[in-house]
Copies of this chain bind each other. A is one copy, B any other.
């Protein structure tokens, strides 16, 4: 019998659990279970997929290890909500290490046609409409980080219209709430350089001052690049720890 489930698991060469994981990943990306909500229980899913519970578990554990799901003993299995708000401070250590969230001040917001390099990083065609933002982030009243952001435009239209005064300090929760965009993972590329005159002015540093540069590409649940961001900060405040194994 039994209902020929459209076997999302029919991928060739994949183990049963890997195929099931891939299928679940697609259904999550398609919005069947929005971020923060619970999946059906292991029992239900196992019956649905026609496998033993242990096999279904392996699929869930795989997705949990990849950061897509979060399993909570006694409660259920949940689709992970957006990334934590301000992990940018993981790269910088300014005077006060108090977990304070940097205050955000939008310096400029413009709708523009994507330059070639930005379009390529966003996975768009050159010239597609994007939202370009410049903002300064401060700690203890002192400007510390200068950020340059590019957001694809049909998707982020609500932010093109939202009054500047109503913007939040943390962007990712705002993306989720106002645009339904959930940042699920990001890639940060670290480099060192020096500040141009205009950049230096925003940070109250002399032109030519050494700076650390973090070039981020953020991706949503479906794997699309939804944000390109370049952050500059005083190189002397930069620090980062890497575990090698």
Contacts and interface: CB of A to CB of B under 8 A. Distances in A.
Point out which of A192, A193, A239, A241 has the most chain B C-beta atoms below 10 A from its C-beta. A192
Interface in A221-245: 235-236, 238-245
A241 B192 contact: no
Interface residues of A, number: 27
Contacts of A241: 187-190
A210 interface: yes
B188 A239 contact: no
Contacts of A185: 243-245
A212 interface: yes
A87 B244 CA distance: 9
Contact of A242 (B66, B188, B193): B188
Contacts of A67: 245
Nearest to A54: B54
A191 interface: yes
A230 to B, nearest CB: 14
